Amino acid sequence: MTAEYIKVRAVRILTGAEVLDAVSKDGGYEAQDVRVEISAEGRVTVTADKTPLTKVQIELEKPYSGDVLILGDAFERGYAEFAWRQPCFDTKIPWYFLAKQADKLTGVGVKTLPDAIVSWQCADDSVVMNVDVRSGKNELVLDGRALEACTIVIESYTGDVYEAAADFCGKMCDNPIKADRPVFGGNDWYCNYGDNDFESIRLHAKRIVECCPKDAEKPFMVIDDGWQLCHQLEFPYNGGPWLPNMRFKDMEKMAQAIAEEGAIPGIWYRPLQTVEFAEENCVLKRNGMEVILDPSVPAVLDIVNRDISQLKDWGYKLIKHDFSTFDLFGKWGFQMQGEFVSDADFADKTRTTAQIIKEFYRTIKEAAGPDVLIIGCNTISHLSAGMFAIQRTGDDTSGHDWKRTKDYGINTLAFRMHQQNTFYQADADCVGITNQVDWEKNRQWLDVLAKSGTPLFVSIAKDAYSEQVKQELTEAFEKAAKNRITSRPIDWEETMTPVKWQSAFGEDVYNW
């Protein structure tokens, strides 16, 4: 139904110095040497010669009528901000938004894996689409090339709002990578926070396996930050080189130990930060000895390929890669304030930021191969959907602060549930089982995740593994290991932290 909704009111070309009003000509829109074409199927193609481009701004007639509430997506992870809200033109919404009026829903967005970074603004009588084609912080010169920047998707629905939201995500993503099994198990971050070692991981794996159904798929045990050579608790550095420190010594033996306990080995790493020597042409940013590598350089992609291949060869069947959006943009998602612009000065200025990041992600995916699951954390949602099997959809929960888990975890789970299996496996983050968090609260977070049909990871502190925790964790893994039906928040239209949930196990009301 896209074509009938794409009614263009204006096209503007933004260069580094000025805004050019494009005029309609021969079925497209032209200004100076720039031509923008929008096909009936919604494909946006930009062709230019020497004009330096930052954005193409396309104003469309509003494809919905009357007063609506808007739900936007996140650029990468959610930061406790999701809610149905009144439209505000000053708010730039990344990738897509949902407009709700009574039992009618309109989805407005672009297909996943675009070659530009797209955001939306909702005006009184129009919607404005911002198609950012910069290469890092630099303008893009196409030199006569055509850039197929993105494809607009607009759909209108009546009936159940949640089902409509999930269907719209399916329309945007043609090729979601679906894990062929439920994803559940352990991740040690929220009990160890980097203070981990060989024996603590082995014990964690043992306890995870103790709580798993014997007739279900094996659980994962993911080693988070702390295993790498240069990691120090008192020194805020968590990058490469990706070799084991003295607390672990041998990562292949660590993977074997996890497997011997009956779990599937998984591991965390930060692909673009290192203190290894790097040729100057490979360096994007430098902070003393610390280096952020430039993924627009083929030699850097060779390094990423090498690192992923090493993790795989050690025996890790799940790889969680982290921090790359922060490394490339210099900000967390909540700090971007609608300007999703990288501060990077890429060596390759002929490609857009989106194109460079997609090739970087594709390198990770292809190096891992079909037998290794990839979790993207602090990765860009619309560039991950169709690329990675699992996506961390929200910022960190906590093993210390229940309020953070409540605000970040529950809000993320509720408002990005419709991306589960339509974009990827939507991981709203872990249950940090420690004595610092009231179990009566935490057990509810465990329960809603276990019944959700989304990934379930838990961190179990050594001194928090009581008989009650063991029993309830066993019940939770029983549900997570066998349920494939995605739950839904019933009252998500009224609150940012829904308390009423419908799942394959019935309806629950939680006391957060």
pLDDT tens for each residue of 184-206: 999 999 999 999 999 999 999 99
Is 499 inside a domain boundary? no
Owner of token pair 């996890």:
258
Asked if residue 251 and residue 190 are part of one domain, the reply reads yes
Q: Is the pLDDT of residue 305 over 60?
A: yes
Spatial separation of the C-alpha atoms in residues 133 and 52, rounded to whole Å:
10
384-402 average pLDDT score:
98
Asked if residue 357 and residue 314 are part of one domain, the reply reads yes
Give residues with Cβ within 8 angstroms of 65, minimum separation 6: 101
Asked if residue 199 and residue 150 are part of one domain, the reply reads no
How many domains is the chain built from? 2
Spatial separation of the C-alpha atoms in residues 360 and 136, rounded to whole Å:
14
Spatial separation of the C-alpha atoms in residues 81 and 359, rounded to whole Å:
30
The reported pLDDT for the residue numbered 235 is 73
Which secondary-structure segment (H or E) carries 458? strand 456-460
Whole-number average pLDDT of the chain: 96
User: What phi and psi values does residue 15 have, to the nearest 5 degrees?
Assistant: -105, -175
* 434-462: pLDDT as tens digits: 999 999 999 999 999 999 999 999 999 99
Is 363 inside a domain boundary? yes
Asked if residue 352 and residue 207 are part of one domain, the reply reads yes
| CA 425 to centroid of chain Cα atoms | 10
| CA 123 to centroid of chain Cα atoms | 27
Asked if residue 455 and residue 309 are part of one domain, the reply reads yes
The reported pLDDT for the residue numbered 236 is 80
The reported pLDDT for the residue numbered 180 is 86
Q: Is the pLDDT of residue 176 over 60?
A: yes
Report the CATH number that the domain containing residue 194 is assigned in CATH: 3.20.20.70
Residue 101 belongs to domain spanning: 6-161
Spatial separation of the C-alpha atoms in residues 73 and 88, rounded to whole Å:
15
Is 495 inside a domain boundary? no
* Sign of the alpha-carbon torsion through 405, 331, 295, 240: negative
Asked if residue 253 and residue 127 are part of one domain, the reply reads no
* 80-100: pLDDT as tens digits: 999 999 999 999 999 999 999
* 31-82: pLDDT as tens digits: 999 999 999 999 999 999 999 999 999 999 999 988 999 999 999 999 999 9
The reported pLDDT for the residue numbered 16 is 85
Asked if residue 191 and residue 144 are part of one domain, the reply reads no
Shortest CA distance to 100 belongs to which of 379, 415, 511? 415
463-472 average pLDDT score:
97
Using the 3D structure, point to which of 128, 161, 194 is the last residue of a domain. Answer: 161
Q: Among 60-64, 176-180, 216-220, whose mean pLDDT is lowest?
A: 176-180
Is 54 inside a domain boundary? yes
Crossing angle for the helix pair 298-314 and 353-368, to the nearest 10 degrees: 30
Asked if residue 118 and residue 60 are part of one domain, the reply reads yes
- Pair 244, 227: CB distance under 8 Å: yes
Asked if residue 332 and residue 222 are part of one domain, the reply reads yes
Is 498 inside a domain boundary? no
Is 505 inside a domain boundary? no
Is 509 inside a domain boundary? no
Asked if residue 238 and residue 122 are part of one domain, the reply reads no
The reported pLDDT for the residue numbered 183 is 97
| CA 483 to centroid of chain Cα atoms | 23
Asked if residue 206 and residue 154 are part of one domain, the reply reads no
- Using DSSP, state whether 155 is helix, strand or coil: strand
User: What phi and psi values does residue 202 have, to the nearest 5 degrees?
Assistant: -60, -45
Asked if residue 41 and residue 132 are part of one domain, the reply reads yes
Is 221 inside a domain boundary? yes
The reported pLDDT for the residue numbered 74 is 97
The reported pLDDT for the residue numbered 178 is 85
Spatial separation of the C-alpha atoms in residues 155 and 166, rounded to whole Å:
12
* 233-262: pLDDT as tens digits: 677 899 999 999 999 999 999 999 999 999
pTM assigned to the model? 0.97
Q: Is the pLDDT of residue 1 over 60?
A: no
**What confidence category does residue 427 fall into, taking pLDDT thresholds of 50, 70 and 90?**
very high
Output the 3-class SS for 393-439: CECCCCCCCHHHHHHHHHHHHHHCHHHECCCEEEECCCEEECCCCCH
Pairing of strands 456-460, 23-25: unpaired
The reported pLDDT for the residue numbered 3 is 63
